[in-house]
Each structure stands twice: as C-alpha cells, then as structure tokens.
Structure 1
Amino acid sequence: QALPAPDDDAYARTAYEAPQGAVETALAQIWAELLGLERVGRHDNFFELGGHSLLAVQLMERLRRLSLGVEVRTLFARPVLCDLAASLGSHDEVAVPANLITEHSTAITPQMLPLIELAQPEIDRIVATVPGGVGNIQDIYGLSPLQDGILFHHLLATKGDPYLLVSQMAFAERGLLERYLGAVQQVVDRHDILRTAFVWEGLSSPAQVVWRRAPLEVTEVELDACDGSGAEELRRRFDPRQYRIDLGRAPLMRVVIAREPGSGRWLLLELLHHLIGDHTTLEIMHAEVRAVLERRAHELAAPQPFRNLVAQARLGGDAKAHEEFFQEQLADIDEPTLPFGLSQVHGDGSGVGEAHRMLPQALNDRLRAQARRLGVSLASLCHL
C-alpha cells in the first residue's frame, strides 16, 4: 500500500489505435472501467493491462448484459481487444429450463427435475430429509463439477472438514448481536444457495435441495476462559480440523454465540461450508447484511438463481467428451495418486509443517513462460 499508484506508462501497451466499430468501442469502455484506465486501444491485451481471473468473470457478466455472450476461455485464448471483439456473440448461452416445482406442488416427479436424473424412490428419499416435506422444497438439481470435488473431499475426511470456512466477530451488547442475526436471516432468505442442503445417501448421484424456509441455526455456549481469550476458546472448540456440520440441513452456515467472560461483549463465530460459498460470497453477504441494518435492503439487486450456474455447468459442456479425455490421459493409472503420501497422514493436522523457499529466477521465468504459453494462471499450473 506504500507504493505509488502506477501511472499510465506503467502498463504494457502497444501503440494506441482507437477501437473500430460498436463492439470494439463497447468492449474498450468496459475494459477501461474494470481496469481503471483512461483509454484502451484495439491492440491492447487484457492481462497485460492488469486484468486477472476475477476481473475476467466481471467482464463476462458485463458482456452478457449486452447480449454479447462469450466463454471465459475465449478471453484467455484471445486477450487482445480486437481479437476478442471478433469472437463476441459467437457463444450461445445455455437455455436454462424452467423450475417446474411451485409453492402449490403436492408431489415431485422425475419429469419436474430437468437438471438431474432421479428415479421416484430417490426423490421420495430426498423429500423425507426436508422439514416440511414437499411444501418446503423450492428446487432440486445436480451439483456443479466444483461442488462434486468438494463433496468428495468432505466424504474422504473421517474427522473434521477441510472445506469449512471460519470467521469471527464481536458485538458491544446482545441487542446489536440480535439485529445482526436478523439481518443475516434476511440475506439467507434472499439467496437460493444459502438455503441449499445436500443429499447423496441412497441416490445414484448427489443432489442439492433448495429449501423455501431455512432458519439460521444459532448455538449459545458458555466460555471457561476468564483471561480475555474467549475468541480463541471459541475457535478451538469449533476448529474445522475436528468439527463437522451436517450437510443435509440448510443453511450450510452455523453460528455460535457466547458472552465474553468479564465483559458485556458478545462473541460470534460463523462457520460457512465451501459447498455454498467462498471468500467472495462472504464479502457479498456482509455487504448485504450492512444494507439491511442501514435500512437499504430495497436497494439490493434481485439475486441470481444458482440453478442458472448449474444449468451452464451441466448442459453447456459435453460431459462424455470430458470423461473420454481423462480416461485416455489416465488409462494406465490403477491406484490412488494422492500427492506427497497424503493418504498416510493422520491426526488433526497440527503436526503439519510449512516451509517457504524462493524459486531460482531461471525456474520462476520458465514456469511463468509455460503458464503464458498454456493461457492459464501460474496458480493453475502449480495446482495441476
């Protein structure tokens, strides 16, 4: 933060040439707004101007609003403005099938679930897990590929949960805490994903179930510590290395509250499962909670149904082609390939050590050159 803001000359630019035509002009204006630049030329490169993957997602959304559909991978393949502009509109958006479950539905049949294939006994098994039965079910659909992977790791862990996110807060008095919890419930009521539970036992494929009503689960505990370490005691008691939550009960967010010993403050610990959110989700939630508390809830934009994303993921790609690709790549592997002997790690993770090393400059340069050649981030290259 102490560094000066980069001036216009700091960016990797080509000789400026004005955008040509309506599409290039619109695209240049969006880039300028997202990247905080005065002007963008038709030969400029999105990533060399400071663009990154999160901004790329925002760019896709802005283009979608203008009915200029494009896949995010096209941006990585064609990051130069004039090249990308020539590709805009070539991507057909997946038509999201309508949700056929209504508030008046008295039964749910396989024909009512276009985003998952389930037999009637499987649907009945799901209905039995939801408080209030059919009347409290807004939707049922499959998991996105990313959610599939997260659920796999949740089931693989026999103790604790590697995908439970923890955040903590403190409130001057109980009344403020109650107002905050009321605002959180309003945000949960707004968003489908925050009212979603997961069912997999006895099913041919895992399902996510959107409840119409999902009351926030708040647990009050007493703290032992009298030395001001109440927040640390809360974190220790609900450490994800030992603690799990029931994924079958929405919302996949648990709140623990406690009066801080020796003071009038109230402490709050919030557990959010990565199946329904990430750091960006938390930022959006907190912004909406603030809006509710400041009586600005009417200013919030209409929430986007999560089923739209599931439809894009499940209907927009050729799953069979993906399976064939990986079967070909991994055909000769016949045993688990967890890295670094991770299958042999036991305990709560407290024995894990971390080491930090600087890469030699030559290796660093080679890795970055390889990432650029493949059109992916260095993080993706290292993960894979």
Structure 2
Amino acid sequence: DVPLDPAYPSSRLRQLLDDAGPRRLLCDAAGRAALGAEAIADLSVVDLDAATPAWADQSADDPDPHALGLTARHLAYVIYTSGSTGTPKGVMVEHQHLSNYLQWSNRSFYKRTSNGSPVTHSMSFDGIVTTLFGPLLAGTKLHLLDPTVQIISLGELKKGQAFDLVKVTPSHLSILNKKIDDNEGQPPTKALMVGGEALVPADMQLWQRRFPNVRLINHFGPTEATVGCAAFEITGDVEGLTSIPIGRPIANTRIYLLDDHGQPVPFGAVGELYIGGAGVARGYLDRPDLT
C-alpha cells in the first residue's frame, strides 16, 4: 500500500504516483479530483464511491496468508519521506518491522484500554501508524476525525472519557494548548505522545501543570526506522530545560552515537546517530544506491 493524501498538492501526488507505479488505485471523488483525470487514465481504478463496491462478490473472510505464500518479509506499505533533503523517497516497510513497532506501542499504551485514540495525522505521514493500528489491535475504539479539522478541543471530543493515547506533532501541540481550558477538570487522555519535530519544553510544562497524571512521551524516529525508534517518558519538571531527550531505544532496537570512523563517541560528545534492529526498513523503493 502507498497512502496518498488528497489534501497534498496535485504535483506532489502525481510525483509519488509516478514513482510508486501502483497496479491499482483506490480512490473516492476527492482523490480523483486531487490527482486529475490524466494522472489516473492508465491505472486500474477502484471507485470507493460506487453504489456496488468492486469487492461485493468476494468472500467476507480474510484469505489465508500462508496459502498465498505471504510472510513477515513481504511489504506492509511504502511511505514517502518529506523530501526535505531532495526528492521524496519511498521507504519500504515490511510486516515484521510494523509488527515489532506495534507490539511495543500496544504494550506501552493499550494494555488496559477503554477509549482508544483519535486519528490526528495525515494518512501520508507514518506517525499515524501508532493511533491507527494500535486501537484496532487492542480491540478498542478508533476515532476518525473530520479531515478538514486540523486540531480540535480534545476535551470536547472525549465526551467524558479519557483517550488511551493521543499523538500529535509539536506544531499541533502548540495549537492544542490554546484550546484546552486551564480550568478543565479531567484530562482528555491518559497518555500524550509528541513526535515528528523537536519538542518545545514549555508546551509540555503546560500539560504538567494542567494534568499532572497524564503520561508525557517524546517519541523520535525517522521514517526509515518504522515510525519511531526511541522514546522518552517525561517524569521530571521541564522548567528551565532548553531541550527534551529523545530517550532510549524501543523494543528490539539499538541506537549508537558514532564518530567519522564508525567508533562510539565518548559520553557527552557529539556524534552521528546510527539505528539498528527490527525496525530498520528494507530500503528505498527503486533507489538501491541511496539504501
């Protein structure tokens, strides 16, 4: 699967479509409009708005993956980087990589579930994986928000019951902080995970003051390491801090700080971050030179 967000510019969507070369495209009216008729003219398109779904005559049961020859080494999805260092690259994530990440996140945040999570990210951003698949695997609720609403008051959405986990970027958190009343009683979530950008300590300090019992997690990881590779649970007062650590590696992951010769740097020295373990993706789609 390659997720395409219809809110993205048409030029970027066509670029990703050309690079991925999918055999089949699932889209609704919004997707058709975003891509344009010319871009999808030569594709086999499954119309999600059709009165009779294309899969109506198929069995309601999942096929046996073993009978199809599928293993944990097959791809779960290809998702594209932001392109901040050049042309966006398609990262190939296998089922085993995804399974490792979700086993860690579910043990950490959905062990005693009650109200699941809201989806607050774009489908084209791998940060969505945690709160999209986490609640489903735990057998709890998945709250799909109106995509036209960037960030809403979680206090209004939760309807009296705290979410198990809310995950946002630091930019979203700054907006969210303005929407939560200082006098609001019960916290909107049991755990708040922030990732995708550098975290501003002051934004977390507001949560520490308002909701001292909410778990606060700084989550770090590039797309190439399957959503996240390190996490830091903030337990002390962040007042006066200029930055918050990315923490320690998640399950079955190793992180090293190495110098230009590939050797570990001394404690406190600057080094290059190297990530190893079960979350490291297969590589870049059709870019073995960059892999």
Greater per-residue strand proportion: 2
TM over 0.5: no
TM-score, normalising length from structure 2?
0.24
Larger Rg: 1
TM-score, normalising length from structure 1?
0.20
